Structure 1
Amino acid sequence: MEHLITGTALAAMLATGAAQAQETLRMATIAPSLGQAITMATFANIVNDNLEGVTIEVAGGGAATLHQLEIGRGNLEMSMTSPNIYDLMAAGAAMYQNEADAAEAAENVQLLMWFPYGQYHYAVRGDSDIQLLDDIEGATVFIGPQGGGAYHSARRWIEASTGLVVGEDYEAISANWQTGFQAFLDGSVEMYVNGCLDPCQQFLQFSETESLRFIQPEMTEGPEVEAFLGEYSFLEEIPAGIYENQTNDGPVISHNTSVGIAISADLDEELVYQITRAFWENLDQVTSQAPWAAALDVNFAAEQRGLMQLHPGARRYYEEVGAL
């Protein structure tokens, strides 16, 4: 079920006294409690507060892979994306192989901005016998909703860095984000994976009452790891001491990638320019209250990643500020 997680009142009347035409855009994102959804809801709130005549309505829940397809089909205006899932959609591959219109729909999906997904946190209880990612052999874990981009990435990282294969060497439960986290809370799974920009809500909650440890594979380099990272992912450390009751005595190596806000190519260039401008020129409204917002960077946002192209309106703004 989807949950409305943001939205503002309609803009006031124009100075002439006539009612201003209101543009309502639909944005879909993943589970509202996840960091990427919070980033996107914050984006919507900033635009809604600072751009008259535009309201972005955000619905949280479901898979970004499907939301992106719905933009291409004309049923949404904005969603979460990533270089990998866009390239797969453009090729009609992987989770899109049974969607006959995927490649055609991809032509109607463009980019507004990229932002860091956050390090993938492979978490166990502080007293767990699992000391390394290699130790999950025989374990039951949650690595993301099956069929989603996070599951795909975590599965591939585990196989590339440890050689362990899901369904053969360890079991990954089929669950959505909320159910997967609950399974970790109640001890039904031995490892829980969440990619997020620290501090992450789930780990703040868990570490209030229990000890927590993040783990890494024994080997974090080699040809398999390099192939996994490819063009879009990169190694990044999770520092020690971020969370209460975190037992790591040093940094843990994990992987990070880019995600972004996809937008319909059908939207007017001026409208998308004003949306992009409203966000970046007012980002300082939240940075002091949201440490993760400091990770947002206009140059990172505009970089070319994969096949996806910037919407002309977004490109115009990034060219104006020297990011392109």
Structure 2
Amino acid sequence: MFKTSIAGAVLALLPAAIFAQTTLTAETTSPGSTPHYIDTTLAAILDADGVATLQITEGATLTNSVQAVAEGQLDMAPAPLILPFLLSRGVGPYSGVGAEQGAELAGNLRALFFSASAAQLFGHYNSGAIQGPDDIEGKRIYNGPPRGAALTTGRAAIQLLSGLQDGEGYEGVQTPWPDTVSTITGGAVDGWTLPEGLPSGRQIAIAAAGGTTLYDMPSEVLNSELGQQIVAAPGNAPYSIPVEEYRAAYAGNDITIVTDDDTFDTFALAFAQIVPATMDEELAYQITKSYLAGQERFETGSPRGPYLFLSFGDIDGTSQGVCGAVTMKLHAGAVRAYEEAGHTIADCVKP
């Protein structure tokens, strides 16, 4: 991992007062990922607006980042919502924390905004041992990093597609995010399942080594009892894009898109941009205000911009996946920024 400092300016909390420059620490995923694009774009916007300097550590494991924000050791991170859910119960990657401390730590988290752009897909090389989801049994499948939200959803995707469990019907392979592309292109696996934005730089890099085929979740399995359970599971959200738009996003690359109808349907990881509950309200307000005003920059700064599913409008809680099993409150400063911009906020999201 390495740190990239993005220059900022002075934060003016009150018109007549002069304050020291605000520097915030943040962690995000590897370059080429959707959270990385969102975080670096936000940093540039905050710099341009003179709100704050973000010191961003790239290639982070978000499991650790979420806990660091909850403990007040980090100012900001993108959080797959399954992680605060697991933290609040002290289970999964947070089993060492325990239920009581986990609940206390999760209560220290607040959101500034939400997104759901990392959609789960399945892929393989056209020349490899797999020629479709029916060939998964007995194969080596890359299904995420060693732990965390992506591994949980990766295993769920393979179970949904094939009915197989990691370590039983197939061999799951995990590596840290920075090693994902090299693991796949190096021939260590027969196929892969990953949460990806559209278009994904990772999938383009993988296809540069040979033609690939990417699949959504067939309607029959997505609409099954298990499929609906997975879509509604804590931290997930439904995802659907016209297949022609999906194909157009990869035009010029040797990538074939396979669906069973005219849409690319799957489930996405629901994300929140999290900060400590103790963040100064005015600072949270200024950050969120700049974020909302920067909508055009988010949507036009990258080909993936139109498919970020960022929360630039009303927040009903249900669409963001935060008013059911997952509880994630907006920071009071963020609520003020949204309402000042004319947006409604569901009571279940307010602190």
Q: TM-score, normalised by structure 2?
A: 0.83
Q: Can you list the C-alpha shifts for 1:301-320, whole angstroms capped at 9, x where unaligned?
A: 67351211000000111122
SS at match of 2:93: helix
Partner residue in 1 for 2:256 = 247
**Aligned: 1:41 with 2:40:** yes
Partner residue in 1 for 2:231 = 229
Counterpart Cα distance in 1 of 2:11 and 2:312: 30
Larger mean CA deviation between 71-80 and 296-305 belongs to 296-305
Cα pair 2:122 2:194 within 8 Å, conserved: yes
Shift of 1:95: 1.6
Larger mean CA deviation between 257-266 and 171-180 belongs to 171-180
**Structure 1: gaps of 5 or more residues:** none
Partner residue in 2 for 1:310 = 330
AA in 2 matched with 1:282: G
Partner residue in 2 for 1:151 = 151
Shift of 1:128: 3.5
SS at match of 2:88: helix
Cα pair 1:124 1:215 within 8 Å, conserved: no
Q: Can you list the C-alpha shifts for 1:99-144, whole angstroms capped at 9, x where unaligned?
A: 1332211111111111123222212112335233232111112111
Cα pair 1:28 1:60 within 8 Å, conserved: yes
Change (3 A) 1:64 1:272: same
Partner residue in 2 for 1:71 = 69
Shift of 1:32: 3.0
Counterpart Cα distance in 2 of 1:300 and 1:127: 46
- Give the superposed CA RMSD: 2.6
Shift of 1:298: 1.0
SS at match of 1:233: strand
Change (3 A) 1:322 1:256: same
Shift of 1:12: 10
AA in 1 matched with 2:200: C
Counterpart Cα distance in 2 of 1:242 and 1:150: 23
**Aligned: 1:83 with 2:92:** no
SS at match of 1:240: helix
Counterpart Cα distance in 2 of 1:226 and 1:235: 12
Change (3 A) 1:144 1:19: same
Cα pair 1:6 1:44 within 8 Å, conserved: no
Cα pair 2:29 2:59 within 8 Å, conserved: yes
Shift of 1:84: 1.8
Cα pair 2:71 2:105 within 8 Å, conserved: yes
Cα pair 1:272 1:314 within 8 Å, conserved: yes
Counterpart Cα distance in 2 of 1:302 and 1:50: 28
Cα pair 2:87 2:106 within 8 Å, conserved: yes
Shift of 1:31: 2.2
Partner residue in 2 for 1:134 = 134
Partner residue in 2 for 1:282 = 294
**Aligned: 1:3 with 2:12:** no
Aligned residues: 320
AA in 2 matched with 1:259: F
AA in 2 matched with 1:50: D
Identity, % of aligned pairs? 22
SS at match of 2:26: strand
AA in 2 matched with 1:260: A
Cα pair 2:59 2:177 within 8 Å, conserved: no
Partner residue in 1 for 2:347 = none
Partner residue in 1 for 2:189 = 189
Cα pair 2:195 2:269 within 8 Å, conserved: no
